[in-house]
Structure 1
Amino acid sequence: MSDYFIGIDLGTTHSAVYYSQSGQSQAGRIQQLAIPQFITAGQVDSRPLLPSFVYFPHDTEFLESDLLLPWGKAHSIVGQLARELGAKSSGRLVQSAKSWLCHSRVGADENVLPVDALEEVEKISPAAVTEILLAHLVNAWKVSFPNAPITEQNVVITVPASFDPAARAITEQSAERVGLRARLIEEPLAAFYAWLSDQKNWTENLTVNEHILVVDVGGGTTDLSLIQAVEKDGALGLERVAVGRHILLGGDNMDMTLTYHLAAQLAQKGTNLEPWQITGLTQACREAKERLLSNPDIAETSVVVPSRGRSLFNNSVKATLTQADVQQLLIDGFFPQAQLDEQAHKVARSGFSTINLDYEGDPAITRHISEFLSRHDVKPSKILLNGGVFNATVIRNTLEARLQSLLGGIPLTMLTPSHLDYAVAKGATYYAKVQAEGGVKVKSGLASNYYIGVASPMPAIPGMASPVDAICVAPFGLEEGSEEQMLPNEFSLVVGESVIFRFFQSKHNEADAVGKVVSAFALGQLNELSPLSVRLDAGHYQAGEMVRIYLTARVTELGLLLLQAHDTQSDLNWTIEFQVREV
């Protein structure tokens, strides 16, 4: 048994680590790990958050002694100093690497970062950056707990609820490369577990059939989830019933909004900023935003953009950010009034664009919430907010008012979150603890039956496509993370060439038995889902050969249906993955 439960929030903008010693039942014993990092050249300080920035210095930029961490020499700079250095120069900084893991057109293993890399800077992949960040956190643990190897601990890493299967797999693989045997949990669900850990008796705050909307706005993404209080064997239970799609929209968008606002003002006065100055202006805008949002009595604040020259003061460019700017650009822009059933706006895209992240076209978080709730036909009565964006009282109050209006004035309770910057890591630790030692668990069972298409034994008929039956592989109510189930019959599998796997979903909520067959003539009673085109490795078989197999199926904690085809004549097996979570 491991000595510690460890929760890692590998955030887009910041990363954090919490831990709890096994055998201690009190949730209050969950503690935060201070993370050593450079704050200036040669100076290391341990801080609660690690900015998720990686900077690749020039060979002559630092002395070797300037790059010594408690665990040895750093080849790249991670954390606070990386962010500050990136604000002063271009082409050497990687940020928001996590969002690249689920890019629709760029593979996580492609060497594309930094996007604006200088010729002398060797680009690396989003997966490699993820590994660098995780390695830093692993080394931080080793320094604090040299006698408790993290490879032997119970580790949970958080990911966006909307991460696709490939992004989850890359995260797990990166963890394995630095010696972690980690499980994954959705960030909104982790935030809810953090709330649970703070409650003496959570059942006093919820009633049967109530829905809790979790709104998690991080640095780079907005994650939405619905959790329902249900009756289970005469007691109150919890189920996660829906998650939102991947929305690249967060605090970083707000900072960039202010950046381009001030850059446009300066351009009108004849000052055109260079790309490296835009980066510096963004960091200055982030700090100015936090000052203005935390103190509404401040009418305006100066924003300074450094210029290259002997005197930083004499060559600086100055601009002014006002409370009115923040109100118009951030409050009205990101949290406007929205009506239930209102959809996020679709924006016409340019025919050509640079290779970069697929940022959301509509910045209105309230419209994304409306679209999500409309899709699932739910009016939540409880709201849990998470993310550093909500440290600003004005933003919290604005969103509460907008949701109250959107939901038609129904009574709405705002649940008190754990620390907004740390809740996800804390909740991941508590999740690991209750999974191992018992406690309240949020069930995430399937809301439908799921089927895979199998070619029918009927002979082909002229003018008619080969009939396909649907066989149940994951029944309604199957809890995510449960043990795998074996289908009762054997099948034939084509290997070594591209084939199509068809998936179906039931329209009702009554559980079918694993292996139940829905005939080709009755497929109209099912919803067909997006097919998968896959080429399975042939192994020692010939390409195109049909292999006799038996099937097992299970659904992971993150809603990934894993079908494993086992060769009846050898040790070969093949895995087919499909996302079955409601989005």
Structure 2
Amino acid sequence: MEKARYIVGIDLGTTNTVVAWTDAEKDDASRINVFKIPQLTEAGVLDTRDALPSFLYLKEKSEIESPSFALPWCQDEAAAVGEFARNRGAEVPGKLISSAKSWLCNAAVDREGAILPWEVTGSGEKISPVEASSRILSHIRDAWNHEMALDDPELVLEKQHIYLTVPASFDAVARELTVTAAKQAGFNDIILIEEPQAAFYSWLDQSGESWRDSVEKGDLVLVCDVGGGTSDFSLIEVKENDEGALDLERVAVGDHLLVGGDNIDLALSYFLAHQLKEKKKKLDAWQMRGLVHSCRNAKENLFSDQGVEKYPVTILGRGSGLIKGTIKASLDLKDVEQVVLDGFFPRCALTDEPMAATAMGMKEFGLSYEADPGITRHLARFVSSHRDDAGNVKLPTVVVFNGGVMKSTLMRRRVLDVLSAWKEGVGQGSIREVDAIDFDLSVARGAAYYGQASQGDGVRIRAGLGQSYYMAIEASMPAVPGIPMPTRALCIAPFGMEEGTQAESRDRLFNLVVGETVTFDILTSSTRKEDGVGEVIDNWEDMDIREMSTIETHLEGEDQALIPVTFEVKVTEIGTLEFWACSRDDDKKWRLELNVRPKD
């Protein structure tokens, strides 16, 4: 990697994007700064914010041509990004794109196809989740270059060291697509880092050398990250190396859960709408969208630890008499506590499972939101899956909180109470929280710290793949009438395989079909950590191995030929996965590209 002036961490979030940086040429190079991002906050108003809301608004033709919607670096941008986009899009939802990051990991759709805005039918511009993510990153690039590199082309963002965060639960395809989006934005030299790790790195940065006084050998640290759109959990174990110093290793990663602050805002809006309905004040869809935004502000103020007991909520009327038809209401802290704590952070047992979705005959197609909003029940399933060699549940001893939702003392205290009850139930002692300074900005700051650590200035967490990867292979056995040929799961990349390493399987041969279009089903497991490269698992459907995606490709070769092959796999330095089938008889190799089609 060539020398660069800045190390930049980018938290490409579901609801907000944050950028942090450090200057490698200054005496205080260890100081990490947050880049204040220029953006439209309303028509004709340019301002800077610590975060860029991850929303795109597809402008009308008149808006593209209007100077009120122009940016200093671009006068005719087709889409607005940021605060104005979020607010304007709430008024014109058919032109609003949100949660692009969550669409990147939705294997049921063509993530490189023009599908967003999702619920809009008929004519009108649409773009892909990859393109939407790229446009957010392009806004970051242009804003940085305007503010930081206007007089020096060597300081443009494309020439700096970029560390881009992804959820720990992102699979190999979602990571590859994130890299594709970054390359489309002009970033050809990036490194991926998992968000919970970045949050922990931020704590390391804030703590300095004193972090070793806060944790000790044998501690199991839970990173509980509940943001605007998602919840992510990771476990980091504190170990001792051969020199007697403390080491950190990420040992478990949870599923990608689409439940977070946005769900809470929606729940509060329905709660308030129900109260208004009882007073004969029924809201239409347009007013409900405005109410969700107002409830977000109310939630943040009521949970701000400033002693606010009640917060006013105003809902605009419809038609010419907007002011006359305005509805005034309020949210009380005690009601919000009941809705949020009991609905999203309920007290539950360690053995509790998230509620399953109801068996409806037909469901709306879209993002795979969690059927159960109870975040603590999802947490119970995650921590109960982490066991010691004797099969006993190994509960965390330390918690690091992250994400905008966890800014609330009430919510953190509830999670700690639930964890403490679990530990008391199995006799594993107490649990403690380590202090975090900023729950909104820590992931970007931690990514910048990781960049420093990668260059030898800081502590690193040993991690690697957060899932084991498998390929479904057809079993070699006699055909039976009426019975489909069974498949087995071939482990192609084990849990924990580290970036920059590769492995190969030479002990067993497989037949590769070339010369025609074929499909490869890729499978994953976040709990099977002992499977090795080349291991074959029978009855995988019952072994906590699930389908991830299907690769459809045409491999060059003689028509419909069967080639005896072994295989090798590499986890690249940037955090993506490469798989190669290697001919037994010559030096020919076939790479399976992760350009996947939707899973049938």
When the two structures are superposed, what TM-score results if normalisation uses the length of structure 2?
A: 0.84
Shifted more, 102-111 versus 258-267: the winner is: 102-111
Distance 2:54 2:376 in 1: 27
Counterpart check, 1:498 vs 2:518 = yes
Q: Which of 248, 258, 272 pairs up with 1:238?
A: 248
Q: Report what 2:336 is aligned to.
A: 326
Shifted more, 20-29 versus 38-47: the winner is: 20-29
Distance 2:257 2:574 in 1: 17
Alignment deviations for residues 329-376 of structure 1 (CA, whole Å, 9 cap, x no partner): 012211111112221122314322333322111111111111111111
Matches within 5 A, 1:338-353: 338-353=348-363
Q: Which of 190, 196, 202 pairs up with 2:198?
A: 190
Counterpart check, 1:404 vs 2:392 = no
Q: Unaligned stretches of 5+ in structure 1?
A: 579-583
Shift of 1:12: 1.0
Shift of 1:162: 1.4
**3-state SS of paired residue (2:207):** coil
Alignment deviations for residues 294-327 of structure 1 (CA, whole Å, 9 cap, x no partner): 2574442221112333453212222222122201
Q: Measured at CA, do residues 468 and 559 of structure 1 come closer, stay the same or move farther in structure 2, by a change above 3 Å?
A: farther
Counterpart check, 1:575 vs 2:589 = no
Q: Report what 2:598 is aligned to.
A: none
Q: Report what 2:36 is aligned to.
A: 34
Q: Report what 1:394 is aligned to.
A: 410
Report the aligned-residue RMSD: 3.6
Distance 1:198 1:374 in 2: 30
Counterpart check, 1:480 vs 2:483 = no
Q: Measured at CA, do residues 450 and 82 of structure 1 come closer, stay the same or move farther in structure 2, by a change above 3 Å?
A: closer
Q: Report what 2:460 is aligned to.
A: 441
Q: Report what 2:93 is aligned to.
A: 90
Q: Report what 2:111 is aligned to.
A: 108
Q: Which of 222, 234, 238 pairs up with 1:225?
A: 234
Shift of 1:135: 0.7
Amino acid across the alignment from 1:484: Q
Distance 1:140 1:447 in 2: 33
Q: Report what 1:361 is aligned to.
A: 371
Q: Measured at CA, do residues 25 and 448 of structure 1 come closer, stay the same or move farther in structure 2, by a change above 3 Å?
A: farther
Matches within 5 A, 1:430-579: 430-445=449-464, 479-488=497-506, 492-495=511-514, 496-498=516-518, 529-530=545-546, 534-539=551-556, 541-547=557-563, 551-556=567-572, 562-566=578-582, 573-575=590-592
On the 8 A contact 2:555/2:590 being kept in 1, the answer is no
Q: Which of 54, 57, 60 pairs up with 1:55?
A: 57
Alignment deviations for residues 459-502 of structure 1 (CA, whole Å, 9 cap, x no partner): x66879999999886578x6410332454578652223435679
Q: Unaligned stretches of 5+ in structure 2?
A: 387-392, 596-600
Distance 1:284 1:449 in 2: 43
Q: Report what 1:258 is aligned to.
A: 268
Shifted more, 58-67 versus 463-472: the winner is: 463-472
Q: Report what 1:163 is aligned to.
A: 170
Shift of 1:397: 2.2
Alignment deviations for residues 90-145 of structure 1 (CA, whole Å, 9 cap, x no partner): 32222222112222422223333223448664232222211111110111111123
Amino acid across the alignment from 1:229: V
Amino acid across the alignment from 1:423: S
Amino acid across the alignment from 2:111: A
Distance 1:508 1:54 in 2: 39
Distance 1:471 1:354 in 2: 34
On the 8 A contact 2:423/2:430 being kept in 1, the answer is no
Q: Measured at CA, do residues 487 and 166 of structure 1 come closer, stay the same or move farther in structure 2, by a change above 3 Å?
A: closer
**3-state SS of paired residue (1:342):** coil
Q: Which of 45, 48, 65 pairs up with 2:47?
A: 45
Shifted more, 66-75 versus 498-507: the winner is: 498-507
Amino acid across the alignment from 1:378: K
Counterpart check, 1:180 vs 2:184 = no
Shifted more, 400-409 versus 243-252: the winner is: 400-409
Alignment deviations for residues 424-476 of structure 1 (CA, whole Å, 9 cap, x no partner): 001111112211234321111579998878899x9x66879999999886578
Shifted more, 117-126 versus 209-218: the winner is: 117-126
Q: Which of 71, 74, 84 pairs up with 1:72?
A: 74
Q: Measured at CA, do residues 15 and 462 of structure 1 come closer, stay the same or move farther in structure 2, by a change above 3 Å?
A: closer
Q: Measured at CA, do residues 470 and 251 of structure 1 come closer, stay the same or move farther in structure 2, by a change above 3 Å?
A: closer
Amino acid across the alignment from 1:498: V
On the 8 A contact 2:578/2:591 being kept in 1, the answer is no
Distance 2:543 2:6 in 1: 44
Distance 2:223 2:207 in 1: 17
Shift of 1:386: 0.1
On the 8 A contact 1:549/1:565 being kept in 2, the answer is yes
Alignment deviations for residues 494-533 of structure 1 (CA, whole Å, 9 cap, x no partner): 2234356798999998897x77x88x9x999x96945776
Q: Measured at CA, do residues 416 and 557 of structure 1 come closer, stay the same or move farther in structure 2, by a change above 3 Å?
A: farther
Q: Which of 392, 400, 404 pairs up with 1:384?
A: 400
Shifted more, 116-125 versus 340-349: the winner is: 116-125
On the 8 A contact 1:536/1:574 being kept in 2, the answer is no
Shift of 1:27: 7.0
On the 8 A contact 1:507/1:527 being kept in 2, the answer is no
Shift of 1:155: 0.8
Distance 1:322 1:348 in 2: 32
Distance 1:194 1:510 in 2: 30
Counterpart check, 1:133 vs 2:136 = yes
Q: Which of 281, 286, 290 pairs up with 1:276?
A: 286
Counterpart check, 1:209 vs 2:218 = yes
On the 8 A contact 1:506/1:527 being kept in 2, the answer is no
Alignment deviations for residues 277-305 of structure 1 (CA, whole Å, 9 cap, x no partner): 22111101111112222257444222111
On the 8 A contact 1:560/1:577 being kept in 2, the answer is no
Tell me the matched-pair count: 569
**3-state SS of paired residue (2:455):** helix
Q: Report what 2:434 is aligned to.
A: 415
Distance 1:506 1:370 in 2: 15
On the 8 A contact 1:305/1:318 being kept in 2, the answer is yes
When the two structures are superposed, what TM-score results if normalisation uses the length of structure 1?
A: 0.87
Amino acid across the alignment from 1:194: S
Q: Measured at CA, do residues 273 and 121 of structure 1 come closer, stay the same or move farther in structure 2, by a change above 3 Å?
A: farther
